[in-house]
Amino acid sequence: MSRNAESTAFRSALEVVRGVEPRVADAIAAELADQRESLKLIASENYASPATLLAMGNWFSDKYAEGTVGRRFYAGCQNVDTVEALAAEHARELFGASHAYVQPHSGIDANLVAFWAILADRVESPALRKAQARQVNDLTEADWFALRRELGNQRMLGMSLDAGGHLTHGFRPNISGKMFDQRSYGTDPATGRIDYDRVAEAAREFKPLILVAGYSAYPRKVNFRIMREIADSVGATFMVDMAHFAGLVAGKVFTGDFDPVPHAHIVTTTTHKSLRGPRGGMVLCGPELADQVDRGCPMVLGGPLPHVMAAKAVALAEARRPDFAGYAQRIVDNAQALADGLLRRGATLVTGGTDNHLVLIDVSGYGLTGRQAEQALLDSGIVTNRNSVPQDPNGAWYTSGIRIGTPALTTRGLGAAEMDATAELIHTVLSQTTPGTGPDGAPSKAKYVLDPAVAESVGKQAADLLTPFPLYPSVDLG
């Protein structure tokens, strides 16, 4: 698509929206302006291509398409079949999977599909069929207890939240924690890395039905061959949630023991993050689970989103191009350059560095909580998110960490030199920020003090750093 065509497309779209609700059009334009001006370091965010974005805004949004390709509960789905089949084909080829299910609306939905597929495949249960027939929100805690008991109190072993795991891997605030009796494996307190012997010991003791690998804030590779061996040793289904690092798998940065697809029974992912597609989810599996996975709708999913599946097909096609591998490698190179820059300036990093797309800073070395650091950086034009660190004394709300990632800035074209400059800006803000006090004069975990002149100076430097790397240069909203 030419630069002029992309500008015309987005300008025209905003003009149409403005004719109905101008405040929405203004917010859309403001979001583009904000993203262009900010150093976006949120590890789970990226920038989808104009083609991917435009694929979502069309008449597919109007179509109901429950079921699967060729087997719909609604008539007139021939065009939906085309885009869903294309998205699945690209996913299979990109990841070397025998089956791909591209309907999940999010990573959480993809995990739910996987959990119920495993249960349905492994456990014959009248209670399970009853739960599938009811609205999940109608089930009481007593219902869930009875269901777990009838299912044999099925167990899940996954990475702990403070070690870098995800809420959907069996934790109580999420529905996965109501479905399963869950236990966590952590990391070595001395290194912050996974201790596979301890994981194996926990699996032998706990005997889970599902062993989950994958993370949202673990800055190292995972050896999936070893994890599969652990799962096999206790008869567990091995599931990998690769939502964060799917782009590194697609780009062949993670191969061999570090590619989850050849080793896992089932793999879930989002399609945004490092994969650089639309917001959505996906499940990859072998033929033994394919039929159960394809029942995701209506088992746990609402109606598929055909417009998002169309965008997934476009993004996955983009990821199959040769230049995507170079992009994926640059993500890791940039993360390591950013980590090195922070370490040279005295920052404390969980595990002492990174092998992937993210870096986790322990900001307690600056005398701050994660919440204080997050807000001070945001004041200075640097967008991050607070995150727990192993054995975090501040818990999951205030935290002691800041998680930063490089997929988005790598998409813009920034390289190692800019990562070092970014490290300097982060260090400047954190070293110049001090904890604040509450109304009673007591120390606060949320309030902080940062000289507005420092924030303004860093914000200007951040904007200058981004100037040579315009975001969506082909899109001029006028």
Residues with a known catalytic role: 64, 66, 241, 270, 273, 279
User: CB of 221 within 8 A of CB of 259?
Assistant: no
Length of the chain: 478
Instruction: Verify cis geometry, omega within 30 degrees of 0, for the bond prior to 260.
Output: no
- What does the H/E/C string look like for the chain? CCHHHHHHHHHHHHHHHHCCCHHHHHHHHHHHHHHHHCEECCCCCCCCCHHHHHHHCCHHHHCCCCEECCEECCCCCHHHHHHHHHHHHHHHHHHCCCEEECCCCCHHHHHHHHHHHHHHHHCCCHHHHHHHHCCHHHCCHHHHHHHHHHCCCCEEEEECCCCCCCCCCCCCCCCHHHHCEEEEECCCCCCCCCCHHHHHHHHHHHCCCEEEEECCCCCCCCCHHHHHHHHHHCCCEEEEECCCCHHHHHCCCCCHHHCCCCCCCEEEEECCHHHCCCCCEEEEECHHHHHHHCCHHHHCCCCCCHHHHHHHHHHHHHHCCHHHHHHHHHHHHHHHHHHHHHHHCCCCEHHHCCCCCEEEEEHHHHCCCHHHHHHHHHHCCEECEEECCCCCCCHHHHCCEEEEECHHHHHHCCCHHHHHHHHHHHHHHHHHCEEEECCCCCEEEEEEECCHHHHHHHHHHHHHHHCCCCCCCCCCCC
Please give the Cα distance from 43 to 41 (Å, whole number).
Answer: 6
User: CB of 341 within 8 A of CB of 424?
Assistant: yes
Tokens describing residue 350 = 């969980």
Residue that the structure tokens 């818990």 belong to = 395
